[in-house]
């Protein structure tokens, strides 16, 4: 079974991600060890909390993480993990991200209730992505967030979701994939996405 390192940088619902990966026949390991990033078949970057704290906590791992991404190793960002992949975030100031997905993380506009919490649907823009095998537009997934990423390149947007505005809910660039929602909390649809990610590591 594929070895998947779930990055432990002190922020995230790691156990629920671990359990979901086990359910889709992956072999997860929660770790902050650089060697575990190097030997993994794939990496999951989860996260719950503030961008600034996450980036500070992640700094020790950043060089190795970027090396693994540059090598073509598949990575899946979840919620705050998606936002960390962007160039910068406006949450609580201006903070630099990993700059894998060119673009900026912004807050929902005034008049939109935050956080966006609960079930909402996907509007899939890019078909035939292995990550979305068995997932169709209007599939429900579970969100908890007040900020979202806006890619510079529209081609990085895989799916959008409506919540006062239309925002990117799945982004991808080469072997980097990320969901603004929590697949580990999204029932059968979320497990299918994690299953697709895991299966792709075997190919």
Architecture of domain 3-200: 3-Layer(aba) Sandwich (3.40)
pLDDT at residue 202, as a whole number: 67
- 3-state SS, 123-165, equals EECCCCCHHHCCCCCCCEEEEEECEEEEECCHHHEEEEEEECE
Catalytic residues: 79, 182, 184
Do the beta carbons of residue 160 and residue 176 sit within 8 Å?
Answer: no
Q: Could you say which residues of the chain have pLDDT below 50?
A: none
pLDDT of residue 5: 98
Outline where DSSP puts E strands in the chain: 3-7, 27-31, 42-45, 75-78, 86-89, 95-96, 101-107, 116-121, 123-124, 140-145, 147-151, 157-163, 165-173, 176-179
pLDDT for position 203: 52
* Cβ neighbours of 115 (radius 10 Å): 11
């Amino acid at each position: 079974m594929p070895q998947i390192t779930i990055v432990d940088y002190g922020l995230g619902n790691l156990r629920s991600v671990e359990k979901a990966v086990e359910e889709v026949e992956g072999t997860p390991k929660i770790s902050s060890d650089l060697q575990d990033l190097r030997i993994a078949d794939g990496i999951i970057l989860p996260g719950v909390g503030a961008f600034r704290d996450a980036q500070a906590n992640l700094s020790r791992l950043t060089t190795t993480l970027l090396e693994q991404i540059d090598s073509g190793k598949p990575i899946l960002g979840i919620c705050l993990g998606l936002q960390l992949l962007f160039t910068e975030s406006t949450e609580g100031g201006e903070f630099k991200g990993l700059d894998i997905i060119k673009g900026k993380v912004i807050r929902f506009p005034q008049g939109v209730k935050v956080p966006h919490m609960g079930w909402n649907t996907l509007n899939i823009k890019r078909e035939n992505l292995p990550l979305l095998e068995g997932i169709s537009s209007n599939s429900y997934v579970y969100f908890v967030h007040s900020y979202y990423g806006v890619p510079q390149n529209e081609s990085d947007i895989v799916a959008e979701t409506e919540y006062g505005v239309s925002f990117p809910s799945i982004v991808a660039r080469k072997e980097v994939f990320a969901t603004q929602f929590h697949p580990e909390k999204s029932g059968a649809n979320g497990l299918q996405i994690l299953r697709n990610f895991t299966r792709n590591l075997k190919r």
